[in-house]
């Protein structure tokens, strides 16, 4: 006779789905903070490698040179990758208390929407424009109200952290409280230090090593405006 599990009664058969609930997915530690479901993270890394990594010679917006470009929007707007991103960022920031999520358009927009629609507690989304709209409501921040609320700033990828910090400043000027910054892919080129220097926690789902890449070479090329 098979051994009984704790809490089972003799002769009782587990209900449909009961065994599945007992088996938790394998998890692994994120860069900092809560643990991420390894299966989701591995699948996302594979999708980003396949969809987003473009080989060639590129000058990044920071002025740094690289022999690849990670176009993360090809993943954040993909039907399989987007739900993974939403779930993983929720897991990554599970110990942060926030009511809305958003960042600087365009890269942050699909990330924020993915987080909003991922399973879990209700979270609103907002968009930070690069400049104030000149007509209509003339708003810098669209979507969910941020004034008096705790919010998470997100981005698809970070090189220097400038885009995320622009969004942080906009939220703070609007009266919101930024609890931290989370990105899908960190390029390991200074974003973490820049964001942490502003007194903010910073986390990423993936790093370059997860994509089989190395950091961009230093360059004296002037930044692209």
Spell out a b/e string for 185-214, using b for 16 or more CB atoms within 10 Å of the CB, else e.
bbbbbbbbebbeeeebbbbbbbbbebbebe
> What are 188-211's pLDDT values in tens digits?
989 999 999 999 999 999 999 999
Q: Could you tell me which residue, 12 or 166, shows the higher pLDDT?
A: 166
Q: Which long-range contacts (CB under 8 A, 24 or more apart) does 128-132 make?
A: 128/102, 128/103, 128/104, 128/166, 128/167, 128/170, 128/171, 129/105, 130/104, 130/105, 130/166
Q: Mark the binding-site residues, compressed into ranges.
A: 129-130, 133, 135, 155-163, 187
On the question of pLDDT at 6 being above 50, the answer is no
Give me the mean pLDDT over the 156-160 stretch: 94
Q: What pLDDT score does 184 carry?
A: 99
Compute the distance between CA of residue 139 and CA of residue 64 in angstroms, rounded to an integer.
Answer: 32
Q: What pLDDT score does 37 carry?
A: 93
**pLDDT range class, residue 15, cuts 50, 70, 90:** very low
Q: What pLDDT score does 214 carry?
A: 86
Q: Mark the binding-site residues for 5-phospho-alpha-D-ribose 1-diphosphate, compressed into ranges.
A: 129-130, 133, 135, 155-163
**pLDDT range class, residue 32, cuts 50, 70, 90:** low
Q: What pLDDT score does 22 carry?
A: 31
DSSP reduced 3-state for 165: helix
Q: Give the CA count within 13 Å in the CB-facing half-sphere of 112.
A: 28
Q: Could you tell me which residue, 149 or 33, shows the higher pLDDT?
A: 149
Place of tokens 């006779």: 1
Specify the DSSP class assigned to residue 211: G
> What are 81-138's pLDDT values in tens digits?
999 999 999 999 999 999 999 999 999 999 999 999 999 999 999 999 999 978 888 8
Q: Are 137 and 118 in contact (CB under 8 A)?
A: no
Bridge partners of 183, per DSSP, are: 155, 204
Architecture of the domain made up of 29-211: 3-Layer(aba) Sandwich (3.40)
Place of tokens 């995320």: 164
Q: What pLDDT score does 33 carry?
A: 65
Of 72, 76, 157, which is closest to residue 117 (Cα–Cα)?
A: 76
On the question of pLDDT at 220 being above 60, the answer is no
Q: Mark the binding-site residues for orotate, compressed into ranges.
A: 159, 187
In the chain, what are the domain boundaries?
A: 29-211
> Which regions of 116-199 does DSSP assign to beta strands (E)?
124-128, 141-143, 150-158, 177-186
**pLDDT range class, residue 34, cuts 50, 70, 90:** confident
């Amino acid at each position: 006779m098979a051994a009984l599990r704790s809490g089972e009664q003799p002769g009782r058969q587990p209900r449909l789905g009961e065994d599945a609930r007992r088996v938790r997915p394998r998890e692994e530690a994120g860069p900092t903070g809560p643990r991420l479901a390894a299966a989701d993270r591995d699948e996302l890394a594979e999708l980003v490698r396949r969809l987003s990594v473009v080989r060639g010679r590129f000058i990044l917006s920071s002025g740094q040179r690289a022999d690849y470009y990670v176009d993360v929007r090809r993943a954040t707007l993909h039907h399989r990758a987007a739900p993974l991103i939403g779930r993983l960022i929720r897991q990554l920031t599970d110990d942060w208390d926030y009511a809305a999520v958003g960042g600087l358009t365009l890269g942050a927009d699909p990330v924020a929407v993915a987080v909003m629609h991922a399973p879990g507690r209700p979270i609103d989304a907002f968009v930070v424009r690069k400049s104030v709209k000149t007509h209509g409501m003339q708003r810098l921040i669209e979507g969910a109200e941020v004034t008096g609320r705790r919010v998470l700033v997100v981005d698809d990828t970070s090189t220097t952290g400038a885009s995320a910090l622009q969004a942080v400043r906009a939220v703070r000027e609007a009266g919101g409280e930024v609890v931290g910054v989370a990105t899908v892919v960190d390029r390991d080129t200074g974003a973490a230090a820049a964001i942490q220097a502003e007194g903010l926690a910073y986390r990423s789902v993936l790093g370059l090593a997860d994509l089989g890449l190395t950091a961009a070479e230093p360059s004296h090329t002037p930044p692209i405006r």
